[in-house]
Amino acid sequence: MKVFIALCVIGLALAVPLEKKWPIPRQDGSVSWLTENEARLEALPELMAFNTKKLDSIKYFLYTPYNLDTAQEIIEGDLESLKKSNFNAKHPTRISVHGWGGKWDNSQNMLIKNSYLKNGRNEVYNVIIVDWSVYSDSSNYYASKSKCSVAGAALGKLIDWMHSEVGLSFASLDLIGHSLGAHVVGFAGKTVTQGKIHTIYGLDPAMPLFSYDNPKTRLASTDANYVETIQTNGGLKGFYSPIGKASFYPNGGKHQPGCGTDVDGACAHARSVTYFAEAVKMGLKNDFLPDKCGSFDLLKENKCDIHVYGIRMADPYNYGRADGVYYLKTNSKAPYGMGVSGE
């Protein structure tokens, strides 16, 4: 009888699934494989510290062709700050959000800002950079990840307010987010009440501790009229499974040429921003031309051979035309765009 009970206990233990371990990034660039509970316990001091933070600690900085290098702060609820700025509702608006450990004036945000404002094209933009470093500049990834929804809701509130007060157009509004910032813009798209975001670009959306099966908790293909993802470090820092209406996989989506061994994936993760900025800056000369994959499984097998015309990664004309999974090759250094199928 005792043997029978022991066998039953062993059987039950074996039947209980092991809790999934995630590659949790560290500030020093290393990665620790932890369960969500383990990550949460580590984050408790930071989470408690976050309770003292106020939403007005999230800030918004505007750049236009008339203040290319000098930011103008827009304060949600302070109409005077908006009226004194160079914001012009007649021009399309782009909002950029940094990831974990980032700040509003980091090189990646400046690269995106300059790709819109210093590219020699005739179109004039309002570029707003979100500073949610009050939460993102944390030593603990889990703690910052837990505040993506808070930062996204604050951004959604700003967008609604600007629409109501000065006519910010949803029809010409694109949001760009890198890593955790991709989920922040996803939550912004989920929470706006005055309209629907035109386009969201998710640049290698962060994967650790986000569930593919629960789109309510992450960037999802329904958060804007069109959601495009550029996935460059899948399975480590970024999502590998497609989460956009159109998902682009440079060089297969895991590793990027020119990044060397890149053990922690930092180089490949950042390349999503570099590729996006180059594509925007090049405009009609955008040379990131993909092949379409019949399925995600075919992408994983490197069997994408459906030639498409008129689709370019990060091209505004993808709206209403691009969907599914796309593969493309890049060069190992700038310029990264290679043309059709890397030819």
By annotation, the residues acting in catalysis are: 179, 204, 269
- Asked, as a colleague might, if the bond just before 335 is cis with ω within 30 of 0, I would say yes
Show Cβ contacts of residue 98 under 8 Å, excluding neighbours closer than 6 positions.
104, 106, 108, 109, 129, 130, 131, 132, 133, 136, 178, 179, 181
Residue from 146, 168, 148 nearest 158 by CA: 168
E strand or H helix that includes residue 126: strand 126-131
Q: How far is CA 123 from CA 64, 118, 148, 238, in A?
A: 11, 11, 31, 32
